[in-house]
Amino acid sequence: MITFERMDNNQFKEYLEFMMPDYIQDTSEHYMMTKEQATEKAEKQMESLLPDQEKTEGQHFFYIKSGEQVAGYLWFHVSKEEKSAFLYHIYILESFRKQGIAKNALRFFENESKDEEAVYCGLHVFGTNENAIELYRKLGYKQASISMNKVL
């Protein structure tokens, strides 16, 4: 059984320690930045997005659990003013992949967003994450824009 458990402050801090290195690595690779530049950018983004950490209005942080085990993480934001939701991060641990957990988590995200009166939701996915892109398309997500770059 898949369940979703809201993170407390200590869990939130552990989650950021888990998430940030991968985010910094992806930012560095995809936007051609040094690790130092990507780290500075990521830290500034987190400060801006999460001034009150996990208690920042509209921000939602969950453990995705399969039975009693943590299977992944889910972070999204719902803006009541804009009636929209944005998925910041979904991560399924390797041993839990290909079991329908990500699909279940995305449905949870959509339902929670609807409950908070969002009329649409969005997300960002790096172009190299083909598995995620395929899943999002299967669930009805459509491409809204394309950001491209080229190494010179």
- Rounded to whole angstroms, how far apart are CA atoms 115 and 150? 41
The overall average pLDDT reported for the chain is 95
Tens-digit pLDDT profile for residues 68-101: 999 999 999 999 999 999 999 999 999 999 999 9
Q: Does residue 30 surpass a pLDDT of 90?
A: no
What's the pLDDT score for residue 148?
A: 82
- Alpha-carbon distance of 82 to 90, in angstroms, equals 22
Q: List the alpha helices (DSSP H) in 31-152.
A: 35-49, 101-115, 130-138
Residue 126 has pLDDT above 90, yes or no: no
Helix (H, G, I), strand (E, B) or coil at 7: coil
**Which residues lie closer than 8 Å to 31 by C-beta, 6 or more apart?**
38, 149
d(CA 80, CA 57): 10
Q: Are the beta carbons of 122 and 144 closer than 8 angstroms?
A: yes
Asked whether residue 3 carries a pLDDT value surpassing 90, the answer given is yes
pTM: 0.92
Above 90 in pLDDT, residue 112?
yes
Length of the chain, please? 152
Task: Quick: pLDDT tens for 35-77.
Answer: 999 999 999 999 999 999 999 999 999 999 999 999 999 999 9
- Return the pLDDT at 146: 85
Mean pLDDT of 27-41: 93
Residue 21 is predicted with a pLDDT of 97
- The one-letter code for the residue type at 87 is L
